[in-house]
Structure 1
Amino acid sequence: MKLADDCFFHDKNRMPHDEALAVLKSRVRPVVDVEIIDLHMAQGRYLAESVLAPRDIPAHDNAAVDGYAFSHSGYDRQAGARLKIVGETAAGHPYPTAPSADDAVRIFTGAVMPNGFDTVVMQEDVRIEEQTGQTWVNIPPGLKRGANRRLAGEDAKLGAVLVETGARLRPQDVASAAACGVDRLRCYAPLKVAIVSTGDEILGAGDPFVPGKVYDANAPMLAGLIEIAGAMPVDLGVLPDRADRVREALAEAARGYDVLVVSGGASQGAEDHVSRTVAAIGKRHLWQIAIKPGRPMSFGQIGDCVVLGLPGNPVAVFVCFLIYVRPVLARLAGGNWTEPVRYPIAAAFAQTKKQGRREFWRAKLTLKDGRLAVEKFARDGSGLISSLREADGLIEVAEEVTDVREGELVDFIPFTEFGLESRT
């Protein structure tokens, strides 16, 4: 078993939203191997070993501007100073000797500060003189000790954790590792996720249209969402509403993938075979969550393969993926469990709701009397893909809430919290 024992166990018909998240968060753990990869291949991967600063970064005090370096001890802050220029230093070429307090050194941005010098005056603030074959710099008054100097260790101290285990590596994280001189990182191998759609009514992309049938929107949508979550999706196609075919296909997929994401067949109807199949040949740990949309969502496993059963309607698939599947995949892939930020924003609508279930409403941002507000889509249909295209995010409404009044603050989760690009 790669997962914790009884990782989804429950004994309720419909598990509350918070309880479902808590069970998953406490039990799901990484199931993929660790590998060492080149730094330039690490973007988007989950880090398996923290990156520590091997030295102070930067390693030396250095100039923040082009100008003249000098010792503040030889400078009169009230009157300024006239110092002899004895040389120059550029980035990558440290000054070879220790100048005196009466000297100045021409310095360029990023150059190591000469030994004993602690202050830099910007080149545009000085006046240069030539006298009897010697060059002098006239420095104006008012400079503080350490002006225009970057300190060693200013970015990170020796031993500091620069990027933590479980982080999904962004360009700035890779830059931190590169700044340490690291060329290879220990990362988790990509999580392999199979996608299966079910239903006699489902047509694959490119199939001729047949009245009474619909094209599969879930599989390509899930593939994109899985990629954004940092895993590797593989579309295994559409299964008919036949118990034997569903059982055979799920058993085979479970042998070759870390996770199996199935859309459709999640309810209790005569043609809904997915949930019953998982219970028969594996373990169905969690089924039916007190949410809308997506109530029949299920979690289970077949052998070591985690199985996530989603509803068939695209909106329910999309919402369930963002709220439940995405953090599960991240954790299985070696990442940290992350919760999206909820932003309190005024409602530009009024709406009633049933008590006892968590609801997620599609919504878009708007301006109301010059202030940012959020508008709920009037139609709640779970098949309205257009509402996903036009939405900026989700309004999360707790179980105990029965109505939302215009102007009241609601919890808004922008899609950008899930790594999705904004609508505009």
Structure 2
Amino acid sequence: MSTQEPNQFQTVDEAKAAIARQLQPVSEHRCVAIRDALNQVLAEPILSPIDVPSHDNSAMDGYAFSGSSIEPAGLTKLQVVGTALAGNKFTGSVGTGQCVRIMTGAVMPNGCDTVVVQENVSSPENGFIQFAPGAVSAGDNRRLKGEDLTQGKPALPAGKVIRPADLGLLASLGVPEVKVKRTLRVAFFSTGDELRSLGQPLDEGCVYDSNRYTLYGMLRRLEFVEPIDMGVVHDSPEALEKAMCEAASQADVILTSGGVSVGEADFTKTVMQKLGAVNFWKIAMRPGRPMAFGQITNPADGRSAVLFGLPGNPVAVMVTFYAFVRDALHHLAGAQPRPLPTVTARLAQGVRKKAGRTEYQRVWLERDAQGWVAHLTGAQGSGVLRSMSEADGLLVLHHEQGSLNAGDLGEVWPFEGLI
């Protein structure tokens, strides 16, 4: 990995592509019971061991019969010769002009290919039912064997992040356990002599460290990730090198906040590059311009980790995490890409912007008769964390875009499901 000095700007897309080229997913996996697989990354595809459903069955409560018995112009009258329940198949024979009372999920009797729903049928009288023309067509309300999945066909792909519906699907296939990728370990810490941890007194010029808590919250939303909080690291080469080495020994990824801007603590760049190959980028974006990316190795044990050096401003930390780190963590965990959800919203007020950089504005959303409306939360400084707390999402103004007027449409990353 080459070293790039911060003497030119990269676009957001260029930085994303450069990061993606350097990432190698974890290869280790473990076998777990399906209940323990929730939110984990599937290590290998699941092929269906059975047909689903395993037999033709009824999709409704009603009466099963042969579609050839339907009278096209008049009432259809059928003799009821038995009952089929889910788990209790009717084993008799069903001839022309006959039917079987059937419940949802019950195996279709031999000779039957159609189910008329009970609401469209007259009450049984003297062992017969009848229904009017158009109440049902041949083949209606029957679920075919293998309609959902046929034996040997893919049920879930490798890289799938297991969701509740996937647990149900696995159980329906009789699969008791699956192989999942091992949890991705992410170490994170903040840098700066001005930072204080919660519970410590605030000296003049000091602030409480908020970045570790927002990073922790964002990492916890990715439940295939194990966050490792390494606290606050003070501004000294020795402290930073020690923290970097400890993090590389126990984690796959290191996230730092602060100390990557041009002119900030030159030893930060020196230490990072001493321990590996690190790029220091200026990215054409706002907020979040400075960022470092590369790989750190602990010389004592040879273990390495991917490094993301994020800006120190609280809003910039969150924006760069969603713009770059989130997708990278999916890739490193072996998960299928899950693009950030977006909604299209009308702007409640104009937004000034020059083409040539990507901007992220904090907005709150409301819905009217025409769709979503995005309102700016107020001051957009990268240190105003309150504006992120008040926001419902980020308005994304792309690199080539210029200013937008009130009523123009914009793309918004909603926070629900993200933070």
TM over 0.5: yes
**Structure 1 equivalent of residue 180 of structure 2:** 187
Does residue 245 of structure 2 align to residue 251 of structure 1?
yes
CA deviations on 1:80-138 (whole Å, 9 max, x unpaired) are 3322222111111222233222321111111111112011122233234454xxx2223
* Cross-structure match for 1:139: 131
1:72 paired with 2:70, answer: no
Cα contact 2:181–2:334 (8 A) shared by 1:
yes
What is the rounded CA distance, in whole Å, between the counterparts of 2:124 and 2:252 in structure 1?
Answer: 73
Of stretches 45-54 and 301-310 in structure 1, the one that deviates more from structure 2 is 45-54
SS of residue paired to 1:137: strand
Contact (CA 8 Å) 2:19, 2:293: kept in 1 or not? Answer: no
Amino acid at match of 1:144: S
Change (3 A) 1:264 1:162: same
1:311 to 1:272, Cα distance in 2 relative to 1, 3 A: farther
Q: SS state of the match for residue 361, structure 2?
A: strand
Aligned counterpart, 1:317: 317
CA distance in 1, matches of 2:407, 2:106: 56
Find out whether 1:164 has 2:162 as its counterpart: no
Q: Is the 8 A contact 2:280 2:290 kept in 1?
A: no
CA contact (8 A) 2:342 2:412 kept: yes
Shift of 1:337: 2.9
Residue 337 of structure 1 corresponds to which residue in structure 2? 337
8 Å Cα contact 2:378/2:387 also seen in 1? no
More deviation, 255-264/28-37: 28-37
Match of 2:418 among 412, 417, 420: 420
Distance 2:32 2:267 in 1: 41
Q: Offset at 1:163?
A: 2.0
Q: 2 CA distance for matches of 1:284 and 1:276? A: 10
Aligned residue number for residue 301 of structure 2: none
1:14-67 deviation digits (Å, cap 9, x = unpaired): 321111112223442312511111101111011111222333321222112211
Letter in 2 for 1:227: R
Q: How does 1:6-405 map to 2 (within 5 A)?
A: 6=1, 13-129=8-124, 131=126, 135-142=127-134, 143-230=136-223, 231-271=225-265, 273-285=267-279, 287-303=281-297, 304-366=304-366, 372-405=372-405
Unaligned runs of 5+ in 1: 1-5
Residue identity matched to 2:128: W
Distance (whole Å) between structure 2 residues aligned to residue 32 and residue 201 of structure 1 = 40
- C-alpha distance in structure 2 between counterparts of 1:343 and 1:200, whole Å: 40
* Structure 1 SS opposite 2:188: strand
Q: Matched residue of 1:297: which SS?
A: strand
CA-CA distance at 1:366 after TM superposition: 3.6
Deviates more, 1:254-263 or 1:370-379: 370-379
Q: C-alpha separation between the residues in 2 aligned to 1:25 and 1:178?
A: 35
2:123 and 2:408 map into 1 onto residues whose CA distance is: 65
Q: 1:89 to 1:299 in 2, by over 3 A?
A: same
Rounded to whole Å, the distance in 1 between the matches of 2:331 and 2:415 is 20
CA–CA distance in structure 1, aligned partners of residues 348 and 72 of structure 2: 59
Query: For the Cα contact (< 8 Å) 2:345–2:371, is it kept in 1?
Result: no
Q: Does structure 2 retain, via aligned residues, the 8 Å contact 1:267–1:275?
A: no
Q: What is the total number of aligned residue pairs between the two structures?
A: 410
SS of equivalent to 1:300: strand
Matched residues in 2 for 1:20 and 1:357: separation? 13
Residue 3 of structure 1 corresponds to: none
Residues 363 and 130 (structure 1), Cα distance of their counterparts in 2 relative to 1, 3 Å cut: closer
Identity of aligned residues (%): 38
CA gap of 1:369–1:72, structure 2 versus 1, over 3 A, is closer
Measured after TM superposition, the shift of residue 367 of structure 1 is 5.5
Moved more, 60-69 or 337-346: 337-346
For 2:143 and 2:371, the matched residues in 1 are separated by 41
Distance in 1, Cα, partners of 2:336 & 2:275: 30
Q: Residues 26 and 182 of structure 2 are in contact (CA less than 8 Å); yes or no, is this contact kept in structure 1?
A: no
Cα shift at 1:237? 0.8
> Equivalents in 1 of 2:59, 2:369: separation in Å?
45
Pick which of 211-220 and 280-289 moved more.
Answer: 280-289
With normalisation by structure 2, the TM-score equals 0.91
CA contact under 8 A between 1:34 and 1:187: conserved in structure 2?
Answer: yes
**What is the one-letter code of the residue matched to 2:96?**
A
Q: 1:319: how far off?
A: 0.7
Q: Deviations over 1:159-206 (max 9, x none)?
A: 433322212111112222222111111111110111111111111122
| 2:77 alignment partner AA | R
Go from structure 1 to structure 2 and tell me whether the alpha carbon gap of 1:319 and 1:350 turns closer, same or farther (over 3 Å shift): same
Q: TM-score, normalised by structure 1?
A: 0.90
Q: Distance in 2 between matches of 1:9 and 1:139?
A: 79
Amino acid at match of 1:360: Y
Q: Distance in 2 between matches of 1:201 and 1:306?
A: 26
State how far apart, in whole Å, the 1-side matches of 2:404 and 2:49 are. Answer: 53
Match of residue 300 from structure 2:
none
Deviation at 1:300, TM superposition (A): 1.1
Q: Is the 8 A contact 1:265 1:273 kept in 2?
A: no
Partners in 2 of 1:300 and 1:18 — Cα distance? Answer: 17
Structure 1 residues 109 and 9 mapped into 2: Cα distance closer, same or farther (>3 Å)? farther
